[in-house]
Amino acid sequence: MKVYHELLADVLENGVEKGDRTGTGTLSVFGRQFRHNLEEGFPLLTTKKLHFKSIINEMLWFLNGDTNTKWLKENGVKIWDEWATEDGELGPIYGKQWTAWPTQDGKTINQIDYVVHTLKTNPNSRRILFHGWNVEYLPDESVSPQENARNGKMALPPCHLLYQFYVANNKLSAHLYIRSSDLLLGNPYNLAGVSFLTHMLAQQCDLGLGEVVVTMGDAHIYLNHIEQVKLQLTREPRQLPKLVLKRKPASIYDYKFEDFEIVGYDPHPHIPAPVSI
């Protein structure tokens, strides 16, 4: 992923030091984009080891419409623990908005169903997208994530907030917009997550694989991640792995972790770094 390393170097060189919600501080640039052809390999970073079990299970959790960490913990995923209440509640975050967007008449809209249906019936549509930015449920920044969840708000507003899909030459491409992108920790997860989802949708809709395009608003490196980023930039990228889907489930909601196999993943060692809460 040479393009990812170029982005890290860009922020180190051109980033502006800014304050942020967490109090940590960042080097930040505004408006960046990269793209990757999925036929050239699965974009799981090789210059540090990623916990792909967490990435896959988080995406399955989103598609389940789940907003409690219980299932994640049962499946070895801890990435949401810091923002959850003592009961594991996170409020109406991603999965709720994706699969059960509330309407004024008390009903809900499943945006994922819409995407699958439209890919199958009208793949030339320019409206094949879903998003999570439901203004009514955005958190109050003056209180904690846990308090927001208790008040029926999102513990955190969505960072990866809009996914759009495009079919050309019978191949499926995806465009992800991230309003706020933590380049060391969050961005590699988001890139792999949208790529897992694109593989799943392509299989469900009998399409080949195209590109993933990631556009970032505020792309930043936390000030307490700079040494880790510099270490990562000293490492030479290795050949990307391949993703194998071992079966075709009945629907987009029926995938399990065991259905995914990452072949040929040979990364450099993991790089520990603190998460800013």
Binding positions are 21, 51, 126-127, 179-182, 190, 220-222, 276
Catalytic residue among 8, 11, 154, 159: 159
Centre a 10 Å sphere on the Cβ of residue 209 and count the other Cβ atoms it contains: 20
**Phi, psi angles (nearest 5°) of residue 182:** -75, 105
Show me where the domains of the chain are located: 2-263
Give the burial class of 97: count Cβ atoms within 10 A of its Cβ; 0-12 exposed, 13-18 middle, 19 or more buried.
buried
As a whole number of angstroms, the distance between CA 102 and CA 29 comes to 34
Active-site residue 205, yes or no?
Answer: no
| Assigned superfamily of 2-263 | Thymidylate synthase/dCMP hydroxymethylase domain (3.30.572.10)
As a whole number of angstroms, the distance between CA 248 and CA 262 comes to 16
pLDDT in tens, the chain (277 residues): 899 999 999 999 999 999 998 999 999 999 999 999 999 999 999 999 999 999 999 999 999 999 999 999 999 999 999 999 999 999 999 999 999 999 999 999 999 999 999 999 999 999 999 999 999 999 999 999 999 999 999 999 999 999 999 999 999 999 999 999 999 999 999 999 999 999 999 999 999 999 999 999 999 999 999 999 999 999 999 999 999 999 999 999 999 999 999 999 999 999 999 998 8
Q: In this structure, are strands 208-222 and 171-182 parallel, antiparallel, or unpaired? A: parallel
* Helix 186-204 / helix 52-63 crossing angle, nearest 10 deg: 60
Q: What is the pTM of this model?
A: 0.97
CA neighbor of 160 nearest in space, from 128, 136, 129? 129
As a whole number of angstroms, the distance between CA 94 and CA 61 comes to 10
Cα 250 to the center of its chain, rounded Å: 24
